[in-house]
Amino acid sequence: MCYIMTGYYDYVLGLIPAALIGITALLNLVGLSLLIALPVGAAVAIGLMGHAMFVKGPVNAAAPSPSAGAGPTSPGTSE
């Protein structure tokens, strides 16, 4: 049995070129010059990347979370 596990980042990776090419082509077909349409499509693609990195950033679920209020300690020092 084959399970398809597409997640948020899979969609983002597919939407980046789709937004860049699709929005640029759509705006160019509507009548905007390529000089204007390309930066708009690129801005949408960059917005998708920014959202994936900073708003819904990847987290490591296996990493232990630091204790609240505990400062960094170096090995070999006692407190």
**Which tens digit of pLDDT belongs to each residue from 9-60?**
899 999 999 999 999 999 999 999 999 999 999 999 999 999 998 888 777 7
Contacts (Cβ under 8 Å, ≥6 apart) of 48: 12, 15, 16, 19
Residue with tokens 């990493």: 63
Rounded Cα distance, 74 and 65, in Å: 17
The number of distinct structural domains making up the chain is 1
Q: What pTM, to 2 d.p., does this model score? A: 0.67
Asked whether the beta carbons of 19 and 48 are under 8 A apart, the reply is yes
HSE-CB for 46 with a 13 A CA cutoff:
6
Report the Cα 42 to chain-centroid distance in Å.
14
Domain that holds residue 44: 8-55
Report if residue 24 sits inside a domain: yes
Report if residue 76 sits inside a domain: no
